[in-house]
Amino acid sequence: MKKPIFYHAGCSVCVSAEHDIINLMGADNVEIVHLGNDRSKIAEAEKAGIQSVPALVTSNGNVLHINFGASMEDVKK
């Protein structure tokens, strides 16, 4: 089974959500992608349907936008 992927950009809203996701799911059960540190993953995130971060892409491809930290347009700047 494919791991869910949590995308974020490093802002305080994103970091808080990352901690909550890890506490809920366990660090071994989710892939964490920091788009500020790994800009090569931005296109992958957009292709998955992410419009803002933080967001979680579930193992079956559903996108769950969590709170609002930044739009993908802001992340690309």
Residues 28-62: pLDDT tens digits? 999 999 999 999 999 999 999 999 999 999 999 99
Number of domains in the chain: 1
Domain membership of residue 32 as a residue range: 5-65
Asked whether residue 70 is domain-assigned, the answer is no
Percentage of the chain surpassing pLDDT 90? 74
Number of H helices, E strands in the chain: 3, 4
Mean pLDDT of the chain: 93
Q: Which helix (H) or strand (E) holds 66?
A: strand 63-71
- Residues with Cβ within 8 Å of 56's Cβ and at least 6 positions away in sequence, in order, are 4, 5, 6, 7, 21, 30, 63, 64, 66
Residue 7 has pLDDT above 90, yes or no: yes
Q: Is residue 77 part of a domain?
A: no
Query: Would residue 28 count as lying in a domain?
Result: yes
In a domain, 47, yes or no: yes
DSSP state of 2: P
| CATH number of the domain enclosing 22 | 3.40.30.10
pTM: 0.92
Helix (H, G, I), strand (E, B) or coil at 68: strand
